[in-house]
């Protein structure tokens, strides 16, 4: 593997040379647009024709040079490294740890969890409840003359009701308190008026703190940060899968936050990139927010060349507790040869994934058409 940076012309010089070529092209075009000489002129008809053909050849030459410059720029942009391929049997040069995870293994985090509420509290810790209580009361005081004065217990009951409504669904949320179809496990916890009041003023951040309009998730950013921090405290395995998941949502109030992925079972919703273990437990996540997806991550110049999918892998792998000899698996949206080399050399992480044909870097593999014939 060797870089081609020394042979790369700077983008500024390439652009300036391209402008010079276009200027010369325009000058030749003006020659063609001039009227032909009359019989009374000193130039003969044959000489005019000869000059016209010469001008056309020069124009075609300049256009060819401009196209070559474009191809060179694209080649520099899309091909950050050159790989040399050898036709010989593949040999492993790493010692793999023989460690197979089973469901009988119990982590230190799981030993302290004996009830579903204990597991839920690992992610919704006390500072989450304090955040919601503080900002809900603050927002209500900003809108009204006084705060609604919700407590931690009120917010916990409200979240519990929201979870129950997701399991037992009714046409309208008021039906849970109606006489015809009253649902006691909801109606007995909180009155409809209290529920509507919390629902009206529920907040996770002070609106006056918003300075960056690019953050699509400003309204819940503090909540996401705390929950992600709690995810990172879980005892990890050493084999992970990185992929995207959808949080279903078909509403119209999410704006650009709502995404559509046709190949997913739930096509509409919020897209989140996750790093999960063999057990199915999520250890880290990254909420998709367009250009603002990586607002909390910084990348080197080499990592920037990996594209969006590659940077997702780098961001999620950077939080692995023990990186050397960890295994990461992902699909062709993320994978590239440069990414595999970077994970191995920088972090000691072994990676495996499918890859697209345009990322093979001239590797002489058998085409899909021939493979289908062999079947």
How far apart are alpha carbons 328 and 100 in whole angstroms?
Answer: 15
Percent of the chain with pLDDT over 90: 46
pLDDT tens digits for range 17-43 = 444 544 554 444 443 344 444 444 444
Give the three-class secondary structure for 53: helix
Q: Are 305 and 80 spatial neighbours (Cβ–Cβ below 8 Å)?
A: yes
Domain match, 205 and 240 both: no
Domains held by the chain: number: 3
Domain match, 328 and 363 both: yes
In a domain, 86, yes or no: no
Domain match, 193 and 137 both: yes
pLDDT at 112: 73
Whole-model pTM over 0.85: no
How far apart are alpha carbons 221 and 9 in whole angstroms?
Answer: 42
Domain that includes residue 132, residue range: 108-209
Domain match, 167 and 66 both: no
pLDDT tens digits for range 78-120 = 445 678 888 888 877 766 665 555 555 556 666 777 788 988 9
Give the three-class secondary structure for 332: coil
As a whole number, mean pLDDT of residues 188-215 equals: 90
Q: How far is CA 343 from the centre of its chain?
A: 18
pLDDT tens digits for range 283-339 = 999 999 887 889 888 898 989 999 999 999 999 999 999 998 899 999 999 999 999
Domain match, 154 and 49 both: no
Q: Tell me which residue of 95, 71, 86, 75 sits closest to 1, measured CA to CA.
A: 86
Q: Are 319 and 286 spatial neighbours (Cβ–Cβ below 8 Å)?
A: no
For strand 239-248 and strand 268-277, is the pairing parallel, antiparallel, or unpaired? Answer: antiparallel
pLDDT tens digits for range 320-330 = 999 988 999 99
pLDDT at 225: 95
The domain that contains 296 carries what CATH number?
Answer: 3.30.420
As a whole number, mean pLDDT of residues 358-371 equals: 84
In a domain, 97, yes or no: no
Domain match, 241 and 368 both: yes
pLDDT at 314: 96
Band the pLDDT of 191: cuts 50, 70, 90.
very high
In a domain, 345, yes or no: yes
CB atoms within 10 A of CB 339: 26
In a domain, 277, yes or no: yes
pLDDT at 182: 94
In a domain, 92, yes or no: no
Domain match, 124 and 74 both: no
Domain match, 205 and 239 both: no
The count of C-alpha atoms lying within 13 angstroms of the C-alpha of 310, restricted to the half-sphere facing its C-beta, is 20
Domain match, 241 and 369 both: yes
In a domain, 163, yes or no: yes
In a domain, 50, yes or no: yes
Alpha-helical segments (H) within 34-44: none
Domain match, 191 and 275 both: no
> In the listed set 193, 209, 225, which residue is the last one of a domain according to the structure?
209
> In the listed set 171, 193, 209, which residue is the last one of a domain according to the structure?
209
Domain match, 196 and 147 both: yes
The CA-based diameter of the chain, rounded to the nearest angstrom, is 107
Domain match, 239 and 370 both: yes
Q: Which carries the bigger pLDDT value, residue 149 or residue 371? A: 149
Number of H helices, E strands in the chain: 13, 6
pLDDT at 31: 38
> In the listed set 56, 78, 100, which residue is the last one of a domain according to the structure?
78
In a domain, 101, yes or no: no
Q: Does 374 score more than 60 pLDDT? A: yes
As a whole number, mean pLDDT of residues 3-24 equals: 43
CA distances from 145 to 137, 139, 140, 142, 206 (A): 11, 11, 8, 7, 17
């Amino acid at each position: 593997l060797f870089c081609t940076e020394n042979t790369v012309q700077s983008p500024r010089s390439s652009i300036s040379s391209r402008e010079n070529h276009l200027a010369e092209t325009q000058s030749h075009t003006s020659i063609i647009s001039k009227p032909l000489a009359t019989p009374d002129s000193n130039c003969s008809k044959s000489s005019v024709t000869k000059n016209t053909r010469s001008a056309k050849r020069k124009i075609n030459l300049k256009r060819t040079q401009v196209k070559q410059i474009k191809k060179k720029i694209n080649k520099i942009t899309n091909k950050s490294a050159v790989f040399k391929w050898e036709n010989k049997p593949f040999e492993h040069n790493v010692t793999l740890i023989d460690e197979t995870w089973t469901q009988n293994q119990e982590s230190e985090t799981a030993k302290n969890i004996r009830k579903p509420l204990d597991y839920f509290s690992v992610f919704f810790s006390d500072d989450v409840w304090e955040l919601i209580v503080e900002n809900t009361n603050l927002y209500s005081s900003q809108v009204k003359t006084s705060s609604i004065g919700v407590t931690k217990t009120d917010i916990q009951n409200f979240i519990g009701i929201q979870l129950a409504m997701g399991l037992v669904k009714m046409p309208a949320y008021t039906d849970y308190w109606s006489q015809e179809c009253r649902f006691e496990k909801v109606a007995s916890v909180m009155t409809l008026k209290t529920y509507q009041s919390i629902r009206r003023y529920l907040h996770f951040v002070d609106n006056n703190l918003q300075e960056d309009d690019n953050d699509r998730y400003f309204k819940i950013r503090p909540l996401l940060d705390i929950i992600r921090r709690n995810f990172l405290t879980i005892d990890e395995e050493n084999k992970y899968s990185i992929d995207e998941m959808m949080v279903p949502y078909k509403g119209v109030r999410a704006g650009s936050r709502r995404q559509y992925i046709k190949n997913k079972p739930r096509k509409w919703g919020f897209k989140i990139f996750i790093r999960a273990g063999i057990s199915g437990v999520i250890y880290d996540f990254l909420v998709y927010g367009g250009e603002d997806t990586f607002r909390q991550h910084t990348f080197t110049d080499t990592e920037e060349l990996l594209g969006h999918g590659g940077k997702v892998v780098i961001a999620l792998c950077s939080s692995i507790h023990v990186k050397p000899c960890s295994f990461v698996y992902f699909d062709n949206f993320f994978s590239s040869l440069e990414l595999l080399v970077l994970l191995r050399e920088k972090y000691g992480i072994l990676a495996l994934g499918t890859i697209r044909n345009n990322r093979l870097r001239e590797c002489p593999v058998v085409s899909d058409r021939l493979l289908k014939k062999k079947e």
